[in-house]
Each structure stands twice: as structure tokens, then as C-alpha cells.
Structure 1
Amino acid sequence: MTAIDTLLSAYWPHIAFLTSLCIGAVAAVHAAMTKTDVRAAIGWVGVILLSPFFGALFYIIAGINRVRKDQISQQRDAALKEYGASTTQTITSVSQYSAPQFESLKILGDTIGHFPLLIGNRATMLQSGDETYPAMLKAIEQARHSIVLQSYIFDHDSEGIKLAEALERAQNRGVQIRVLIDAVGSKYSRPPMIRTLRKKKIPCALFMTNPLGMRMPYANLRSHRKILVADGEIGFTGGMNIRAGFVKAIAGSKATRDTHFCFEGPIVAQLMAVFAHDWRFTTREILPVDEWCSKQWATTNGSVPARGIRSGPDRNIGSNHSMLLGAFAVAQSHIRIQSPYFLPDITLLGAIATAARRGIQVDIVLPGENNLRLVSYAMMAQIDQVIKSGCRVWLNQDTFNHSKLITVDNAWSYIGSSNIDPRSLRLNFELDVEMYDRNLAQQISAQIDHEISHAQRLTLDQLQAIPFVKKLRNKIIWLASPYL
């Protein structure tokens, strides 16, 4: 046995301990120096110090944001500019379409967004899978040139198979097709839909993965976006995945409800830009704007000023968060929020509470029974903070509603894939749309008010009546809310 072997045999515990301390110290310093949220920094430093080796390993896997530093994230901005560069439908003032207080909100969107606010759009609300999937199938069947589809979840069930078969028929008649599914979301069904699409030879890919499996450094980052664009002329986006559970004829009385949107007009080019951006990041393939995006918007006869707001753990981190802060700040009469997962950070909580305290009526509609039990527990742990400030919180008594809808003063709307929780606000790649239109905002407000008419108001007395053990459980789970 050599001297080195003898040394290692005698002192390996000490060497392992010192090595873990060095690794932990480097990881803790990195977390402290790179995290912009003090709570995130404290949390990661605590995890690393309590378990220097395994904590550091976990931080390397889930804590370091490489996307913002990836060279591809700089290259792919070209697609956004190419598709979203249209200025023929831009507007300088929103007062005539919305209300004067939203002029400053438009400036905020101009500052933080990639896209201009465009007029000439038509927006149609679609209710759950009963209206959304037939409309999407129709768009696919009528497509002549191109189809792109992106979803967090694309289940291999009756509705998913219908869409896959429609895509196959479109491809057989010469339509170019690209399908992008999130790598985590694809695992929600067995067999995964990606396998079926590949058998049909439909060009498809998984977001944030590679042939060898999940990219561990990106395992906590997901594309939550939902996009369908046909011929670059008609687009769909919102919060609904592709699942049979959204169809009442299949799921019956337990069908999940949601609200999706169909768009016509120049906003469709922005939806296409986001897809092209993500497709290039995933596959390195560039989708030329002339082949994938229409330039004929005059026939839509739309009047809705709209803009896509993309956010994610890249250089657009916090875009959705900033838009919500701006909207709550300019509200003058009424804020309506409907969200399945409501876990705002302390800044958003403060903005909502401040709006209520200055006399704004704030209505927040949440599911009475959530599909994610842990999230529901965490929500109950902090919901008292908005109730104390004067907000009205409503628990829906109907089936689970997955809709993500916000209106302010019946004149501005915000819809899309973002939940009001840490994952959507910091970790997920999201796509939302802001719209400055009174008629549409009133339509969405009426839908939320209908939900309220069938909901039960949550009070502080009800929260206080929760047994201590359950309160403690809720608080413990709430501590882990950034990772739910």
C-alpha cells in the first residue's frame, strides 16, 4: 500500500468533509451573488449549508439559471423581431379603446415586452374543450400551408388522438407542421403523444430534453405555453392543455372547465414568433417568416388592441409579474382575478392589498376543490393576507376551473398561460396576452361575475376555525410553495 493509499484510508472522512465544505462554500457564494430575490438567496444558502454536498448538487441541478446565459437565447431573439416587427397596426393611445388610466400601462408594456401593441385583432372566447377543441380541429382541417402547435400537456387520449389524426391528414395534403411539447408535460399520459406523432412522421420535439433523457440542469424549467397557429392567420392561446378531461361529453359532471381564446389579426404573428423562438431553441431549425406567417390582416375587421407578453427564466424573467403590478397600480374601480393557483409573492400581495385599501373592489375567484391538493393547502396558508386588506375571496362550488383571467376597470384584460404562483412568475416559460378593449373586458368580467354568483365567500372566521394541525400543515407546505 502506498503512502497516498494509507493517507486516504486513514483520513478519507476528513477529506470528504473538507471537500464538501469547499463545494458548499462555492455554491453558497454563487447563490448569494447571483440571486436577485433575497428569499431565494436565503433559501438556497440555507439548503447548501445544511447539506454542503447534496445541497450543492441540488443547487447545481435546480438552482442555477443557465437559460439567461445561453448563447442560443441571444440568437433566437432574431425570430421574435422578424415575426413581431410589424408596425402598420401599432397604436400610440389606448384611451379610445380602453380608458385613460391605461396609457401608462401601455408604456410599461412597450418597455418590458418584445412586441408592439397592435390594433386590428379579433378575439373570441372559447369555453373548455367543448368549444376549443372543435375550433382547433376546424383550423387544422382548413389549413393550406402551415400549422404549429405547442402545449405543456398533450395527452394520448381521445381528444389528443383526434388532433394528432387531423395533423396527419393535414401533412398528407402538403401542409408544413411543427409540434412542440414540454418534456415534463409529455409524461402525463402513457404512451406519450410524442411517440405517436413520431410514428406518423409529424415533425415534433420535446422542450428542454435531449435523446439521452432529461437535461438535469433544466429539469425545473418548463414550457407552460399553449399555442396553435394555422396558416399564420388564425391563432389560439390561453391556459388549456390538450386533455379529454376538459370535454363534458367524456368527463361528465367532473369535467374540468377552462377558458381559451381564438385570435385573428396581427397578434397571430406574435404567437407565431414565440413558437418559432422556442422551436429554434429546441431544434436549431429556423422557421422563415415568409413561409409561416401571413401578412394579410385587413380581412379580420377586428378592433381589439392586443399584445403578446412572453415571460420565462431567461432575459424576460418577471415580465408577467411586472404587467400585473402595473395593472393593479392603475386600477380605479374594480379588479377581478380568476386563477386556479393563487400564490402571489410578497410584492404582488402588497400590490393587491394596496389596491383594496385605496378603495378598489378586488374580487379573487379560486377553486373550491383544487386538482393539486398541496397547492390548495399552501393557498389557504396565505390567503388571509388579502382578505384582511379588504379583498373579497370566492371559492367556486362548481367543478374545477382552470381559467386564468384578469380584468381591471372593465376596460383591460389579461389572459394566457400564467398562474399567479412562483412557478409561473419565475420558473415557467409562459405566454399571456394583454387586451385594451372595453367590450371584451366586460365579457370576461361578466363570466367571472357569473362564477362569483355560484361561489362561497371565504371569511377570516372560516380560516380561524380551521384546526391547528391543518393550519400547521398548510404553513409547512406553504414554505415549499416556490417549488410546487
Structure 2
Amino acid sequence: MNVLSLLLSLVLVLNMTLASVIIFRERRDIGSTWAWLLVLYFIPLLGFALYLFFAQNYRRSRLFEWKEIDRTGTEEAAREQLALISADGHAMGNPAAGDYHDLIAMHLKANKALYTEDNEVELLLDGKQKFDRLFRDIAEAQDHIHVQYYIIQKDELGIKLIRALAEKARSGVSVRLLYDELGSRRLNRRILQELRDAGGIAEAFFPSKFRLINVRLNYRNHRKLVIIDGKVGYVGGFNVGDEYLGLDPKFGYWRDTHLRVRGGAVHAMQTRFILDWNYASRADIHYRPELFPEPEAAFGAAGVQIVASGPESKLEYIKNGYVKMISSAKRSILIQTPYFVPDAGYLDALRIAALSGVQVSIMIPDKPDHPFIYWATLSYIGVMLRAGVSVYLYRNGFIHAKTIVVDEEIASVGTANMDVRSFKLNFEVNAFLYDREVSAKLAEAFREDIKVSEALTLERYGQRSRRIRIKESVSRLLSPIL
């Protein structure tokens, strides 16, 4: 009994100490603080272990540095653009950009996200379309290929990508592959060896320091970027695996949104990749002009800013961009996301928009791929329905797109979901688009998806069972740390 009393006392002291750290030192947001305190209270020993694995705070860290970044000229250009916008908010050539100069200025000031408007933006809404296009670009690469994905599966598509990269490496093209260790946990050295033997380099982000133990597993690099010869860039929701081609019977057809970009925005994507790569690899990328080639002519007229965010960021840059877009809406807001677990600021912005007469529409899957997050999503969807938001359940497979379109004038497409994890915990990257033509195409894609979706009414939502309501309540309580 004395030993048991001692153990219980020790657990109590550990919990109180950790609770004090959470409250007074970490200075987390209130929702996350209460969620962790509940975990510690109800499951003391396991809660302590969970906190060690899932609750590190990188806000004060400076993870990504590149000593040669000034040679790209982006920081100086960003300062000049900010000064120009401050002097004349409508100095841009693209009409949509001129109307949203304050959003551009916010990203420039907070994230140093250079604005370019010489871009051609191609929408890729289908897995086969996306990967056919990608493999053609890889085959045509002359100087370098930089690839970054959260998930690369050990299946037919994943192996096809590795072999395509290996073939280019054997031909003398510089090939670098960066993958997230948790997301791509099925990859192994044998699969990557072909690429390495061919002269390519593959690195894992936040790898385990000890086998089967990774205290940083809660902070994942969710970014998906491909840059080819510094001229073509890809960003969006697709990972690499057969399911993204619609070949997994569990999900069926996979609906996602990706962008193929040519123009000045590719340089910003290149910079983001180099920052991530130099953190993960000992083989640093050094500046050379071939990484940032000057375009011979403008490929298009779309305005683009590449905005990155992560747990090391001082602010939630992508979420702030979403909220600013929502608050700017006059007519319509179209959102597609597989997970809808917003924080209070994002939720209030949408609710205010809907209540003020803006037509807000949200599309989510009608099936879960992560049950807890799905039930939490449904709980927040109830709030939206009561505010008059139109909600659609996508029924033609699984929708994984992360898009928002405002007034069919501006849009954002990228890797960040509309949830707390993407806002605070994952490393994400989005393209903010200032172009009416591209935004109209995204809006049209949304309307096409409505044809294979079911409208969720407030009446039907109110008919869900008590069991589902309990699942929603528990999941919502834990949503700040899901």
C-alpha cells in the first residue's frame, strides 16, 4: 500500500508539474490548454506520455534557414512591393489583385510572400490527369527535379515515381526527394535505393531518432511541392499512391485539387523547398542561377502568392489568409475540405459572413478516413447549418481538395485543411490566387461537384442518433489537439 501511495503521489506531482508548464510556460491557446488538462486529468500516466509525444511547442524555434536566400532577391523585392502597395494600393496589373491589395500586403508583411502576376495556372482536378502531367514534366527535365510529398506509398504509383526520378538522375539531372517519415512510413531503404544508386538523394523530414520512437510525430510536413528546372511548379492536395488514382475500393474515386504553375511564383515554391530540404538534409542546396531562371516572357497574367505556415511560425499565416478572404467576401464563399475542425476565429468569420448575407457553401466527404476528425467535423457543421450555410456531402468517392473561392475573384489552393492541425501543427503551403479566370474555373468545379453531392439540411442533421451525438461531443472536446 505504501508503494502504491507513493506511485499515486508521484503521478499527481508529475501531472501538476506538467499542468503548470502547459498553463504558465507554453502559453498555448485556451482551447488547446483545456484539452490537454482534461487528458492529464482523466488518463494521468498515458496523458503524460501523450503530451511528451504530441505537444512540443516549436513556436519559439527557428527551424528553417538559408544563408544564401538574399541572393534570390525575394526579400528585397517583397520590401519594395510592400512599399509600393502602401503608396498605391491599386498598383497591380491584375484587376482582382488591385481589389485585394490589403490581403497581398498582409502576406508580404507577415510571411514575406512575394507577389507575382506573370503566372500561368493550370487546374488539375483528377489524379490521372495530375500524374500524367507530372510524369511528362519529369521526363522533360534538363537541370533539376525537386520533389516533396507528405505521403509516398509503396505501391504501383509510388514505385513508378521513384523509377522515373532514378531514370532522370542516371541521365545527369539533379534529383532530390523529400518525404515525411510518418506519412511515408511504408517506404523503405530498398525502394529508395534505386534512386540513390542512380545518383539521386532522398531524405526524410523529422525522422525517428530511435526505432519506433519519434517524439516529433505530431508535427508533420504536410507540404506537397514539385519544382522542375525552376520553371514548372506543382502544389495542392494530391499525395502519391494508388488511392489518389481512385484505385482504393474503400474510398473509390478520389477528388482533389492541384495546381501546375509556370511563372514567377515557381521561384517562391523553389525557395520553400530549399528551406525544408536544408533543414532535413546534410547535403545543403547552395544558390546557383539555374535554380531561379529568369522567364523569357510572361506565361500568363494570374497573380499568385505562395504562403507557408507551420508550428515554428509566429502567426498562423495560412489561416489568417483564409480569415481575411472570408471577411472580404461580398457575394459568395465556396469551401472544399476533407476536414472541418476550425478554431473560434475561423468559425466566427464564416458565421458572420453567412449572417450578413454572403452565400457560404461548404463541401465535405460523406465518409470518414479519420473517424475522430470526421465526428468533430460534423459537430462544427451543425454550427454552420444553424448560421444558414449550405453544406454538401460529396458522394462520388472521397473529396480531399483544400480550396476556398471568394466572389469568384480570388482563391486559395494548397495543402492546408480547414482544421486546427493544419493551422497550428502541420507544415503547410498554399497558393493564394488573384485571378478571376482561375477563380471562376474553381467555382465551376465546385458546382459540378454539387451534382454528385447531397445537400445536408438542418432538419436531417437534427435526426442523427444519440450515439452519433456523443461521438461528436467527445471528438469536439478533443478537437484542439486532434
TM-score for both structures, normalised by structure 1: 0.90
Task: Say which of 288, 292, 295 aligns to 1:294.
Answer: 292
Displacement, 1:81? 5.1
- Residue 117 (structure 1) aligned with residue 115 (structure 2): yes
Distance 1:379 1:54, change over 3 A: closer
- Residue 23 (structure 1) aligned with residue 21 (structure 2): no
Distance 1:324 1:161, change over 3 A: same
Q: Secondary structure at the match of 1:87?
A: helix
Distance 1:452 1:273, change over 3 A: same
What is the correspondence of 1:62-461 to structure 2 with a 5 Å cutoff? Answer: 62-65=54-57, 67-70=58-61, 72-73=63-64, 76=65, 78=67, 82-83=71-72, 84-85=74-75, 87=77, 92=85, 93=90, 94=92, 96-98=94-96, 101-188=99-186, 193-194=191-192, 197-198=195-196, 202-210=200-208, 212-213=210-211, 216-247=214-245, 254-290=252-288, 293-461=291-459
Q: Deviations over 1:263-290 (max 9, x none)?
A: 1111111111111111111124321231
Task: Report the Cα distance in structure 2 between the residues aligned to 1:215 and 1:231, rounded to whole angstroms.
Answer: 37
Distance 1:23 1:211, change over 3 A: closer
Distance 1:478 1:193, change over 3 A: farther
Task: Report the Cα distance in structure 2 between the residues aligned to 1:366 and 1:16, rounded to whole angstroms.
Answer: 46
Deviates more, 1:271-280 or 1:474-483: 474-483
Task: Say which of 12, 17, 28 aligns to 1:36.
Answer: 28
Displacement, 1:102? 1.5
Displacement, 1:45? 2.7
Task: Report the Cα distance in structure 2 between the residues aligned to 1:365 and 1:250, rounded to whole angstroms.
Answer: 21
Partner amino acid for 1:60?
Answer: L
Contact 2:94/2:434 (8 A) holds in 1: no
Contact 2:114/2:268 (8 A) holds in 1: no
Q: Secondary structure at the match of 1:218?
A: coil
Partner amino acid for 1:48?
Answer: L
Distance 1:464 1:25, change over 3 A: same
Displacement, 1:209? 0.8
Task: Say which of 37, 40, 59 aligns to 1:45.
Answer: 37
Contact 1:101/1:331 (8 A) holds in 2: no
Distance 1:229 1:96, change over 3 A: closer
Distance 1:145 1:330, change over 3 A: same
Match of 1:5 in 2: none
Task: Report the Cα distance in structure 1 between the residues aligned to 2:275 and 2:33, rounded to whole angstroms.
Answer: 30
Q: Secondary structure at the match of 2:117?
A: strand
Deviates more, 1:200-209 or 1:460-469: 200-209
Partner amino acid for 1:321?
Answer: K
Displacement, 1:478? 2.7
Displacement, 1:317? 4.5
Displacement, 1:474? 2.4
Partner amino acid for 1:46?
Answer: L
Task: Say which of 465, 470, 478 aligns to 1:472.
Answer: 470
Contact 1:310/1:316 (8 A) holds in 2: no
| Higher alpha-carbon Rg | 1
Displacement, 1:72? 4.0
Q: Deviations over 1:40-83 (max 9, x none)?
A: 11222333344555433332222121x3344544xx15465554
Q: Which structure shows the bigger proportion of residues in helix conformation?
A: 1
Task: Report the Cα distance in structure 1 between the residues aligned to 2:155 and 2:477, rounded to whole angstroms.
Answer: 35
Deviates more, 1:442-451 or 1:102-111: 102-111
Q: Secondary structure at the match of 1:413?
A: strand
Q: Secondary structure at the match of 1:254?
A: coil
Distance 1:290 1:215, change over 3 A: farther
Distance 1:452 1:250, change over 3 A: closer
Q: Secondary structure at the match of 2:132?
A: helix
Partner amino acid for 1:269?
Answer: H
Cα RMSD between the aligned structures?
Answer: 2.6
Contact 2:22/2:28 (8 A) holds in 1: no
Task: Report the Cα distance in structure 2 between the residues aligned to 1:69 and 1:257, rounded to whole angstroms.
Answer: 37
Q: Secondary structure at the match of 2:341?
A: coil
Task: Report the Cα distance in structure 2 between the residues aligned to 1:78 and 1:359, rounded to whole angstroms.
Answer: 49
Displacement, 1:207? 0.6
Contact 1:182/1:222 (8 A) holds in 2: yes
Distance 1:383 1:261, change over 3 A: same
Partner amino acid for 1:266?
Answer: G
Contact 2:35/2:478 (8 A) holds in 1: no
Contact 1:194/1:205 (8 A) holds in 2: no
Partner amino acid for 1:31?
Answer: I
Task: Report the Cα distance in structure 1 between the residues aligned to 2:401 and 2:189, rounded to whole angstroms.
Answer: 27
Displacement, 1:330? 1.0
Partner amino acid for 2:367?
Answer: E
Task: Report the Cα distance in structure 2 between the residues aligned to 1:424 and 1:192, rounded to whole angstroms.
Answer: 31
Displacement, 1:189? 6.2
Displacement, 1:115? 1.9
Q: Deviations over 1:436-455 (max 9, x none)?
A: 11111111111111112332
Contact 1:179/1:203 (8 A) holds in 2: yes
Q: Deviations over 1:248-275 (max 9, x none)?
A: 5897992312121111111111111111
Displacement, 1:222? 0.4
Displacement, 1:365? 1.2
Q: Deviations over 1:158-182 (max 9, x none)?
A: 2222211111111111111111110
Task: Report the Cα distance in structure 2 between the residues aligned to 1:372 and 1:301, rounded to whole angstroms.
Answer: 40
Distance 1:70 1:112, change over 3 A: closer
Task: Report how many residues are paired.
Answer: 472
Q: Deviations over 1:192-219 (max 9, x none)?
A: 8546544655311111014633663311
Task: Report the Cα distance in structure 1 between the residues aligned to 2:211 and 2:251, rounded to whole angstroms.
Answer: 38
Deviates more, 1:361-370 or 1:174-183: 361-370
- Gaps of at least 5 residues in structure 1 are 1-9
Match of 1:61 in 2: 53
Task: Report the Cα distance in structure 2 between the residues aligned to 1:459 and 1:249, rounded to whole angstroms.
Answer: 31
